[in-house]
Amino acid sequence: MNYSRTANISRFVLLLLAIVFVCMVTVTGIYIDDDTQLKGIFEEGTIRLGLDLAGGSVVTFQAKTEDTGLDLESGMDSVYTVMRDRLDGQGLTEALCYLTGDDMITIEIPDIEDPNEAIANFMQTAKLQFKDKNGKVVIEGEHIESAVGGNFQVSEGKYEYAVSLTLTAEGAKKFAAATKTAAATKDAIGIYIDGQMISQPTVNEEITDGQAIITGNFTYESALALANNINAGAFRYELIPVEQRTVGATLGEDSLSTSLFAGAIGVLLVLIFMSIYYKVPGIMASIALVAYVGIFGLVLVIFGTNLTLAGIAGIFLSIGMAVDANVVIFERVKEEIDLGKSAKAAVKAGFKRAFSAILDSNVTTIIACAVLYFLGSGTIKGFASTLFIGIVISLFTALVITKVLLNLCIGMGITEPKKYRSLGRRAK
C-alpha cells in the first residue's frame, strides 16, 4: 500500500472529480439517448412532490363492509387494483393510491383544478346489468370481455358517442338467448348502470356475435370514463368518503423553496463547523457530505421518490446521522492522537474503534425505519423511506469515502498529528 506521493495526489484529485461529476449529473441530468437519460433534479417532473408540498387533493374512502381479517385484506386488495386501473384509465397516472388502515383507501391527486369532478368520474361504481322486460338480469359485469368508449355508428348513418361491449363466450351465449326471446315479441332490454337505466333498446333480432352497444346521452369524456370503469370492474365494497381536502399549491411552493434554501445554508454551516473544529478530517468529512448530498439527489432522481414534508425531515435526520458518524470517529481519532500515535495509526484506530457505535446506532434506526415503513401509512412511510435511503448512503460516505480521503491525505504527506486533532480539550 505504499503509493508514491504523486500517485496519491492524482488519486485524490480523481476522487474529487468523481464527486463533482456525481453532483453535476444530479443537477444537470445526463443524456445518452432517448431511452437512456436522466433529468436534472431541478427540472420539472423529476421529483414527485407530495401533496403537502405540491398542492392537490386527497380523498380517503372507507369501505362499508362486514368482512374482517383475510377476507377484508383480499377485498381491499381488489379495491386497490380497481382503483388504480380507474385512475390510470382517467389519465390520472400521477395520482397516488394506497391502502390506509384496515378498511380505507387514500387517493392523492396532484395539481388538480376541480377535485370533485375528477372524483365523480372515477368513482362511478359501474355495476353493469342487462335486464329483460321482467327485470330479470340477463348479463352483468362478469360477462363483459372489454369495453371501448368512442364515436360509434348506432344505426343506419347515425353516429353517437357510446360504449361498445365485447362479451365473453358465456356472455355471448346468454345474450343470444335473451335477445332471441325478446326479438320474438319485439321487447326491449334495459341497460342499467348502478341500478340506473341508461338506455332501453328494442330488440329486433337475435344477436349472436357477442357485441353490444350502450347509448345514452354520452359525451366523449363520459363514454371513455364509463368504458374505463367497466373494464376496471366494480369495487368489491361500497366506498364512503371520510376525508377530503384540497391543499393550495402556492403554499406548498413557498414552503418548499424556503426549506430548500434554509437546508442548503444549514448544510453549508455544518461544513464550515466541521472543517474548523475537526481540521483535516473535518474537511474530508465535508467533502464526503457533499458526495452524500449528490448521491442522495441522484437516488431521488432515479427512483422518483415521492417527497413530502415528513420525507424532508427524514433527509435532515439522515444528514445529522451522517455527520454524527464522522463526529464519533474524529473524537476517537483525537483520543488516539492524545495518546501519542501518528496520524496514520490514529485514523486507523479511530475508524476501527468507532465502528461498533456507528453500527449499533444505525442498525437500530434501520429497524425503526423498516417497522415504520411496513406498518405505517402515508406520512410515516415517506419519512421511513427517505431516512432509510439516507442511512445507507451516509454509511457509505461517512465510513468509506471519508476513510479513503483521509488515507490519501496521509499518503500525500499531510502527516502532522495536530492537523488531525480536533479543537476539543484533552481528556483527563
Partner 1 sequence: MSKFHFIKNQKVTLCVVALVILVGLISFFVRGFNIDIDFSGGTEIKIDLGTEVTKEVCDDINDIIRNHEKLGNDYVSSTTQSTDNINMAIIRTGTAALTNEQTLALQDALTAKYTNANVNNVQISTIAPTIGDQLTKTAIIAVAVAIVLMLVYIWIRFEAKSGIAAVLCLAHDLFVIFAAYSLLQIPVNSNIIAALLTILGYSINATIVVFDRVRENKAKAEAGTEFSEVVNTGIHETFGRSVNTTITTLLTIGLIYILGVDSIQQFALPIIIGIVAGLFSSVFMSGMIWNALAKIGKKKESK
Judged by CB under 8 A, the chain residues 115 through 144 that form the site for partner 1 are 116
* Residue 341, all three cell numbers: 500515535
Q: Does 367 bind partner 1 (CB under 8 A)?
A: yes
Question: From the CB of 403, what's the least distance to partner 1, in Å?
Answer: 18
Query: Which of 7, 14, 276, 368 touches partner 1 by CB under 8 A?
Result: 368
The rounded distance, in Å, linking the Cα atoms of 50 and 391 is 21
Residue 299's closest CA among 386, 220, 395, 382? 386
111 is a site residue for partner 1 (CB under 8 A): no
Nearer to partner 1, 91 or 248 (CB): 248
Exposure letters 155-172 (e unless 16+ CB within 10 A, then b): eeeeeebbbbbebbeebb
The only residue of 262, 276, 302, 400 in contact with partner 1, by rule CB under 8 A? 262
Q: Which stretch binds partner 1 (CB under 8 A): 148-156, 169-177, 244-252, 293-301?
A: 244-252
Q: Which is nearer to partner 1, 220 or 273 (CB)?
A: 273
Q: How far apart are CA 236 and CA 103, in angstroms?
A: 12
The grid coordinates of residue 62 equal 372507507
What secondary structure letter does DSSP report for 203? P
Query: Using the rule CB under 8 A, which residue among 89, 314, 350, 417 binds partner 1?
Result: 314
Tell which residue, 251, 174, 249, has the closest CA to residue 212. Answer: 174
Tell me which residues in 142-201 interact with partner 1 (CB under 8 A).
none
Residues 315-344 that bind partner 1 (CB under 8 A): 316-317, 319-321, 323-324, 327-328, 331, 334-335
Residues contacting partner 1: total by CB under 8 A: 74
Pairing mode, strands 158-167 and 144-155 = antiparallel
Which residues neighbour 18 within 8 Å (Cβ) at sequence distance 6 or greater?
none
What is the closest distance, in whole angstroms, from the C-beta atom of residue 371 to partner 1 in the complex?
Answer: 4
* Closest to 410 in 3D by CA, of 323, 347, 327, 333: 347
- DSSP string for 20-75: HHHHHHHHHEEESSSSSEEE-TTSTTSSEEPHHHH-EEEEEEEEE----HHHHHHH
Which residue in 18, 137, 375, 414 binds partner 1 (CB under 8 A)? 375
Place of cell 480536533: 422
Contact 201, 215 (CB under 8 A): yes
| Contact residue for partner 1 among 42, 159, 220, 273 (CB under 8 A) | 273
390-414 burial: b if 16+ Cβ within 10 Å, else e: bbbbbbbbbbebbbebbbbbbbbee
Q: Does 216 bind partner 1 (CB under 8 A)?
A: no
Residue selected from 37, 141, 194, 266 as contacting partner 1 according to rule CB under 8 A = 266
Q: In the bound complex, what is the minimum distance in angstroms from residue 270's beta carbon to partner 1?
A: 5
Residue nearer to partner 1 on the CB measure, 234 or 329: 329
Stretch that binds partner 1, among 16-24, 32-40, 150-158, 258-266 (CB under 8 A): 258-266
Least distance CB 238 / partner 1 (angstroms):
15
Considering only 251, 276, 339, 414, the residue that binds partner 1 (CB under 8 A) is 251
- List binders of partner 1 among 47-106 (CB under 8 A): 60, 62, 100-101, 104
